[in-house]
Amino acid sequence: MRKGMRIVAQNWRFGRCEIDVVAVDGAWTVFVEVKVRAAAGPVPCWASVDVRKQARWLRAGEAYLRQHPGVPAAARFDFMWISGVPQAFEVRHYRDVLGPAPTPFSPAIFTPQ
């Protein structure tokens, strides 16, 4: 919301697929995967978004757009990484992580916004 997005749904489910946050950012519908950890570990934060998760995320996003024609048809997939303790959270926002042609661990995910 601090970036001007309007949240339209949280924890939206389509079968076994779930989208943590659906937001509208101008002319885009944004599907956000959120990961929260107490501390950064040895495994990169995006490692949990494997090829299977990406496929489920895409299917759920497509279903959301079909079922909600009032949101913009242009879509992107963002990743939010939240770590730390409540008094000192660190939030990283990775924008358009799947890019125009989704691939495992798309290079876009390595560029925080």
Q: Could you read off the pLDDT tens digit of each residue along the chain, which spans 113 residues? A: 777 899 999 999 999 889 999 999 999 999 999 988 776 666 666 667 777 888 888 889 999 999 999 999 889 999 888 887 778 788 888 888 887 654 444 444 444 44
Whole-number pLDDT of residue 71? 93
Token digits of residue 71? 């949101």
* Residue 24 lies inside a defined structural domain of this protein: yes
Count CB neighbours of 14 within 10 A.
16
* Residue 35 lies inside a defined structural domain of this protein: yes
Whole-number pLDDT of residue 107? 44
Q: How far apart are CA 21 and CA 92, in angstroms?
A: 15
* Residue 21 lies inside a defined structural domain of this protein: yes
Q: Is 43 helix (H, G, I), strand (E, B) or coil?
A: coil
> pTM score, two decimals?
0.80
Domains held by the chain: number: 1
Strands 75-83 and 6-14: what pairing?
A: unpaired
Range of the domain at 46: 6-110
Whole-number pLDDT of residue 42? 61
Whole-number pLDDT of residue 8? 97
CATH code at 42? 3.40.1350.10
* Residue 1 lies inside a defined structural domain of this protein: no
Whole-number pLDDT of residue 61? 92
Phi-psi region of 53 (alpha: psi -120 to 50; beta: other; left: phi over 0): alpha
Q: How far apart are CA 112 and CA 106, in angstroms?
A: 13
* Residue 95 lies inside a defined structural domain of this protein: yes
* Residue 10 lies inside a defined structural domain of this protein: yes
* Residue 25 lies inside a defined structural domain of this protein: yes
